[in-house]
Amino acid sequence: MTIETPGDFWKDYELVDSGNFEKLERFGRFHMSRPEPKALWEKTLSEEEWDKTVNVVFRPGAGFGKAGKEDSGTWDRRRKMDDQWVIRYKGAQKGLDLSLRLGLTAFKHVGVFPEQAPNWEYIYRNTSGLVTKAAAEGKPKPKVLNLFAYTGAASLAAKAAGADVTHLDSVRQVVTWARNNMELSGLDNIRWVVEDALKFARREAKRGNTYQGIILDPPAYGHGPDGEKWKLDECLYDIMKCVASILAPTDSFLVLNLYSNGYSAVLGETVVRQAFGISGDCPGLECGELVLRDRFGKNLPLSIFVRLRL
């Protein structure tokens, strides 16, 4: 199991401090404070230093902490800042250069999960290798499917590497947001799908369609475009079994990211092993945690990942 964090080369993002169930972050030129239930320790900076720095603070609403509503609330502006702004991710690999529009939403999010940067690097690296191999063998571009794709940084990483990308999310507004990020990044021709992820994957399996790369970042609770409700605990294994049927058996990769509290990297790895029928050593299978490290060296774990190369 490995622990990964965004590289120091990312100048448009920093976790400044964390503690007392909060995190102080900088996105571009703006600082914000948001609740963080995993920051169990004390802050390093004083409350006065936080107050001097922050542009905006997220205030949890009445539903905070309740299943499916844990991120609802409002923003308390302390200093002048834009409603929307753009940050850049110029990756460790040549050609991975993304522009991402950010904004203050009612659900604590701002349009990007910065701890995911190591996954973007993995996606770009593996997709680039598949693109190069396909070109050398005279085959079509590899196809990459991003399920639960949100505002699309992972989709953009695959597209920047030269893949034929399908971006799927059940919320039309975030798909529109992702399209804007594609245009800001100077990319084009991503396929956009507003659909329930499991329904789409099952339909692709019936059609016999396969992908050389599949990315999943499911929330703990989900809603389909028609209001269907589901809980990740109850359907994760079914999703993975379906994904196993549409991932190409060779020259392919999988990235699974999980945020749910209580999920471990070992649990994620076991789900993938069982869904794909993997036993024993598998050099292409890895798992670990994605963390953000603040200015004072405190590691804030935010999600677990499982990656598979076939």
Could you say which DSSP state residue 21 is in? Answer: T
Q: What is the pTM of this model?
A: 0.94
CATH of 113-309, one of 3.40.50.150, 3.30.950.10, 3.30.420.40, 1.10.760.10: 3.40.50.150
pLDDT at 65 over 60: no
Same topology, domains 2-89 and 113-309? Answer is no
Q: Three-class SS of residue 100?
A: strand
Q: Which residue has the higher pLDDT, 225 or 164?
A: 164
List the domain boundaries for the chain. 2-89, 113-309
- Give me the residue label for tokens 């991975």: 96
Residue 79 zone, left/alpha/beta (φ > 0; ψ -120 to 50; rest) = beta
The pLDDT confidence band at residue 223, using thresholds 50, 70 and 90, is: low
- Report the topology of domain 2-89: Immunoglobulin-like (2.60.40)
Range of lowest pLDDT (54-68, 96-110, 128-142, 295-309)? 54-68
For 236-286, what is each residue's pLDDT tens digit?
999 999 999 999 999 999 999 998 767 899 999 999 999 999 999 999 999
The pLDDT confidence band at residue 64, using thresholds 50, 70 and 90, is: low
Which positions ≥6 away from 73 have C-beta within 8 Å?
58, 59, 60, 61, 64, 106, 107, 108
283 CB-contact burial (10 Å; exposed 0-12 / middle 13-18 / buried 19+): exposed
